[in-house]
């Protein structure tokens, strides 16, 4: 069994993907080919925002968004403490101070009460200027955007949605990647919508940011002219080949993959509900895109044992994430954040199980049977 089965998706879509790649080879327009523009149009339409700007990966997407916001080394950028490194790396790479906020234990997403406390603390310290909140849609579930938006409005902060894992999810009929002033996603192969290499995208309704982001992606170019440079930007584009691969993959994602993966999650929920492990919670009004199906064990030792037992049964599992962001060596002297209780607990108890639209029902049954054996119920 594989943790995320990318090969069965390719088998299903092989004809369309191969033909789409061949078109690019025939035209040999490898950078900014017509497929890139077509994909941007389709992504914007699906997400329900005015503009989509593709780029080289989800990390660049975050950095570009923060550059468009004008983030500097005077600024504080609030990030969840429990997420992938990029979320905090992006503001830190611009010299801004990442402020690590504890997450909600049930949703794994940034806790709005803790966010407000962190903003108040930064204001009272007076060293950094609160500027941006980065909310992550962790494991596929959109964050609490009603409360987060309210807090951003109250303190005059910009909202950046890191939808690298959230693409396809929904809250109150709105798609993930439409909640931020700017939102971003990643097409890393294992994300809900992945390409065959690195890729990313930025979404916004704002016309000026659209123009600025398109410039920043290509060396700060002036409109269409790459040799007139009006900003210090970067080189961050999605290859035409990756756009060509994403076009048929997006179609399958919209038409059935997002439904399939939700059906798989329901099977897990039903089979695991009486075993005493904490299951992922999707509150009413939300839909997850199930980048991960993550359960919580009682403690670190139990997690270690069950992970080992499942590995012996041929079932791969992953720990996302073993370390609070503030504990990463790249961030020094951040021990005040050891008070982030839920983050500290989750790093010891979470375990992600195999999930994808293509995982077989019988594989899920087997995984759940083994977990139930582990707890001695059978």
Ligand X SMILES: *Cc1c(COP(=O)(O)O)cnc(C)c1O
Does the footprint of ligand X cover residue 183 (CB under 6 A)?
no
Judged by CB under 6 A, the residue of 9, 33, 54, 58 near ligand X is 58
Per-position b or e across 190-206, b if 16+ CB within 10 A of its CB: ebbbbbbebbbbbbbbe
Does the footprint of ligand X cover residue 83 (CB under 6 A)?
yes
Which of the 8 DSSP states describes residue 79? Answer: E
Does the footprint of ligand X cover residue 233 (CB under 6 A)?
no
Which C-beta is closer to ligand X: that of 243 or that of 371? Answer: 243
Q: Could you give the C-alpha distances from 133 to 71, 78, 157, in angstroms and in order?
A: 12, 5, 7
Minimum Å gap between C-beta 60 and ligand X is 7
Does the footprint of ligand X cover residue 65 (CB under 6 A)?
no
The stretch near ligand X (CB under 6 A) out of 20-28, 63-71, 161-169, 213-221 is 161-169
Does the footprint of ligand X cover residue 198 (CB under 6 A)?
yes
Does the footprint of ligand X cover residue 352 (CB under 6 A)?
no
Nearest to 178 by CA among 43, 45, 49, 291: 49
Which C-beta is closer to ligand X: that of 88 or that of 277? Answer: 88
Which C-beta is closer to ligand X: that of 3 or that of 155? Answer: 3
Q: Which of residues 306-325 bind ligand X (CB under 6 A)?
A: none
Are 252 and 46 in contact by the 8 Å Cβ rule? The answer is no
Minimum Å gap between C-beta 204 and ligand X is 17
Indicate the angle between helix axes 145-155 and 112-125, nearest 10 degrees: 20
State how far the Cα of 147 lies from the Cα of 108, in Å rounded to an integer. Answer: 15
Does the footprint of ligand X cover residue 133 (CB under 6 A)?
no
The stretch near ligand X (CB under 6 A) out of 14-22, 55-63, 242-250, 348-356 is 55-63
Which C-beta is closer to ligand X: that of 237 or that of 277? Answer: 237
Judged by CB under 6 A, the residue of 78, 145, 167, 188 near ligand X is 188
Does the footprint of ligand X cover residue 84 (CB under 6 A)?
yes
Does the footprint of ligand X cover residue 292 (CB under 6 A)?
no
Does the footprint of ligand X cover residue 82 (CB under 6 A)?
no
Rg value, the chain, Cα? 21
Q: Could you give the C-alpha distances from 342 to 19, 32, 103, 263, 337, in angstroms and in order?
A: 48, 44, 6, 29, 11
State how far the Cα of 216 lies from the Cα of 338, in Å rounded to an integer. Answer: 36
Are 68 and 223 in contact by the 8 Å Cβ rule? The answer is no
Tokens matching residue 350:
């979470």
Q: Could you give the C-alpha distances from 212 to 18, 134, 182, in angstroms and in order?
A: 34, 20, 12
Minimum Å gap between C-beta 154 and ligand X is 25
Are 13 and 248 in contact by the 8 Å Cβ rule? The answer is yes
Does the footprint of ligand X cover residue 57 (CB under 6 A)?
yes
Judged by CB under 6 A, the residue of 35, 54, 87, 347 near ligand X is 87
Helix (H) or strand (E) holding 252: helix 240-252
Judged by CB under 6 A, the residue of 54, 109, 183, 186 near ligand X is 186
In the complex, the residues that contact ligand X under the rule CB under 6 A are: 57-59, 83-84, 86-87, 136, 162, 164-165, 186, 188, 198, 200
């Amino acid at each position: 069994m594989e943790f995320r089965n990318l090969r069965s998706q390719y088998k299903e879509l092989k004809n369309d993907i191969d033909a789409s790649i061949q078109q690019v080879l025939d035209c040999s327009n490898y950078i900014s080919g017509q497929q890139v523009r077509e994909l941007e149009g389709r992504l914007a339409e699906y997400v329900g925002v005015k503009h989509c700007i593709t780029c080289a990966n989800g990390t660049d997407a975050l950095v570009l968004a923060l550059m468009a916001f004008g983030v500097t080394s005077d600024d504080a950028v609030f990030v969840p403490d429990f997420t992938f490194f990029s979320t905090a790396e992006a503001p830190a790479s611009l010299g801004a101070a990442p402020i690590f906020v504890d997450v909600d234990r049930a949703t794994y997403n940034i806790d709005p009460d803790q966010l407000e406390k962190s903003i108040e603390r930064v204001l009272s310290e007076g060293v950094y200027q609160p500027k941006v909140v980065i909310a992550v849609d962790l494991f596929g579930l959109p964050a609490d955007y009603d409360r987060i938006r309210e807090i951003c409005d109250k303190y005059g902060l910009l909202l950046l949605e890191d939808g690298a894992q959230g693409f396809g999810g929904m809250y109150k009929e709105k798609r993930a990647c439409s909640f931020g002033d700017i939102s971003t996603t990643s097409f890393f192969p294992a994300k809900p919508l992945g390409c065959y290499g690195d890729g990313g995208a930025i979404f916004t309704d704002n016309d000026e940011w659209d123009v600025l982001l398109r410039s920043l992606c290509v060396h700060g170019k002036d409109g269409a002219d790459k040799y007139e440079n009006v900003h210090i930007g970067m080189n961050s584009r999605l290859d035409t080949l990756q756009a060509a691969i994403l076009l048929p993959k997006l179609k399958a994602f919209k038409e059935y993959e997002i439904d399939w993966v939700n059906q798989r999650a329901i099977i897990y929920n039903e089979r695991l509900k009486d075993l005493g492990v904490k299951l992922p919670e999707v509150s009413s009004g939300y839909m997850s895109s199930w980048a991960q199906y993550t359960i919580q064990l009682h403690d670190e030792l139990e997690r270690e044992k069950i992970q080992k037992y499942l590995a012996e049964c041929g079932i791969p599992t992953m720990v996302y994430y073993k370390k609070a962001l503030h504990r990463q060596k790249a961030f020094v002297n951040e021990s005040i954040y050891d008070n982030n209780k839920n983050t500290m607990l989750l790093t010891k108890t979470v375990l992600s199980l195999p999930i994808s639209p293509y995982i077989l029902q019988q594989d899920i049954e087997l995984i759940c049977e083994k977990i139930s054996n582990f707890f001695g119920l059978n």
